[in-house]
Amino acid sequence: MADPATVAGAAAEQGSGGLPQFDLSWWPGQMAWMLIIFGVMFVLFAKVFVPKVGGTIDGREGQIAGDIAEARRLKDEAEAQAAAAAAETAEARARAQRLGADAKAKAQAEAAARQATEEAKLNEKLAAAEASLAAARDKAMGNVAGIASDTAQAIIEKLTGVAADAAEVKAALPA
């Protein structure tokens, strides 16, 4: 370190003008350097820094606007696809309902045809059974006259003790 006495001596040699920035004799040089530095800084800011920052800001704004436009386009496209999907779903639902109704109608028609066939078979069997019953009834009714004649002869013989003539009994019975 320097000796304090040496420092004080050097200060005395410099003069006792104080700080140079407050010494008016130094001001013209300081003003000139200040104007040169200010001019260089102004030119740097005006020609280099501000255009770069402005270009970056403009580029970013353009990027954001492009992104927003792309997002809107994609949203519109997605909405159009959703509407198309909804229309396809509705069409498929209508087609499925139509197929279901057609299948139901076809099944009902087949069931009605089978039922009609079975009813026809049953009606044939019923007609055959009725014809058989009518034939049996007619046969039985044909035998009733003979049975009535035999019964009447037996009753007459039992009551009177005399055998009745078959021709007389048949003539006495209603036809």
Give the amino acid at 56. T
The two tokens of residue 142 are 């044909």
Whether residue 149 contacts residue 160, with contact meaning beta carbons closer than 8 Å, is answered with no
From residue 150, alpha-carbon distances to 17, 90, 146 in Å are 181, 87, 6
d(CA 150, CA 148): 5
The band of 16, judged by pLDDT with boundaries at 50, 70 and 90, is low
Of 162, 130, 168, whose CA–CA distance to 149 is shortest?
168
The structural domains of the chain, with segments of one domain joined by +, span 27-135
Give the amino acid at 24. L
Q: Which residues are within 8 A (CB) of 153 and not within 5 positions of it... i.e. 6 or more apart?
A: 163, 164, 166, 169
Tell me how crowded residue 164 is: count the other CB atoms within 10 A of its CB.
Answer: 17
For the segment 17-70, what is each residue's pLDDT rounded down to a tens digit? 577 778 888 888 889 999 999 999 999 999 999 899 888 898 999 999 999 999
For residue 116, with 0-12 CB atoms within 10 Å meaning exposed, 13-18 middle and 19 or more buried, which class applies? Answer: exposed
Q: What is the pLDDT at residue 147?
A: 81
